[in-house]
Amino acid sequence: MALSLGSSSSLSLASPFSALPGQAAKPPSISSSAAGKIFLNTKSIEKKHLRQFQKATKVLSYYGLTSPPYKLDALEPYISRRTLELHWGSIHRGYVDSLNKQLAKSTLYGCTMEELIKTTFNNGNPLPEYNNAAEIWNHDFFWESMQPNGGKLPWGGLLQQIEKDFGSFSNFRDEFVQTAITFFGSGWVWLVLKTNEKKLSIVKTSNAVCPLVWGDIPIINLDMWEHSYYLDYKDDISKYVNNFMDHLISWHSATGRIVRAEAFVNLGEPKIPVA
C-alpha cells in the first residue's frame, strides 16, 4: 500500500553468519520490544556458532501492530476514544499477538501481509493463520480508510471513476449504505476495484474475508462487526454507516490507493491528443 510503507512487514531472521560449511547457526532471539532493531554482536554470535552443532536455521516471521494515523480520540464524536482503545488496542492487537503465536510454530512466512493472506486463504480452504492475518490487514486498511474531518466528496479522477461506474456519487453512497444496513452477521463492506471487470464495485465479505484473495484491489472498507459500533451506536447501524460516509471516510487514502491501483489495472484508454 502506497501510504503505509513498511507496515506489517516481516523480518526474516535467518542468520547470515553460517561460519562453517554444513553447519547452520541458530539466529539470535529477538524480543518483541526490539523488533525492528536487530542488534548484531558479531563476536558472541561467532562463538555461538562454534559451540552449536547441527541446529537447523529457523526462519521466523514476526508482524507488528501499526497505529492508526491519528490519535485515538481524533474521530470523536463519530467513533469514541473508548471504542478505538478497545477495537485497536485490544482486538486488533489480539489478532497480531495470535498470529505471531501461530507463526512461531508454523513454516509459513510471506514477505508482506498481503502475500501471507493469499497463501493462507488457500483458495477457499483457509488455514488457521488466515483469520488472524486477514483481520490484521483489514483493520490496518480500515484505520487508514478513515480520517478526522473526513467524508464529503472525492475529487478528480476518483470521482470521475465513481460516476462512471455507479452513475453518480449519490447512487454510490446509497448503494454502500444499503449494503451495510442489510448486512447479515459479521464482516466488512468494501469499495473495490475489480481487476477483471476493470470497474469499481461494492462488495460485502463475511467474517475475515478480504477481496485481495480474489485479486481485486480494495479502495475503502467499513468494519461491520458489532464491536466496531456497538459501544457508540448500539444497534443503530444506519447512523453508524451514515456518519462514516459523511464524516469519517478518507478520500485522500482512497485516491492514493486508486492511483496505485492504476499501475495494475488499465482503467481506460489514455487521452492522446490527435495531431
* Residue ranges that bind other proteins, judged by CB under 8 A: 86, 90-91, 94, 131, 184-187, 206-208, 225-227, 230-231, 234-235
Q: How far is the CB of 226 from other proteins (least distance, A)?
A: 4
Nearer to other proteins, 236 or 246 (CB): 236
Q: How far is the CB of 187 from other proteins (least distance, A)?
A: 7
Q: How far is the CB of 74 from other proteins (least distance, A)?
A: 21
Distance, CA of 205 to CA of 124 (rounded, Å): 13
Q: How far is the CB of 225 from other proteins (least distance, A)?
A: 7
Contact in structure between 27 and 56 (CB atoms under 8 Å): no
Nearer to other proteins, 74 or 91 (CB): 91
Nearer to other proteins, 42 or 182 (CB): 182
Radius of gyration of the chain (CA): 22
- Residue written as grid cell 561460519: 19
Contact in structure between 250 and 141 (CB atoms under 8 Å): no
Helix axes 128-144, 93-104, angle to 10 degrees: 150
Q: Does 273 sit behind a cis peptide bond, omega within 30 degrees of 0 on the bond before it?
A: no
Nearer to other proteins, 18 or 90 (CB): 90
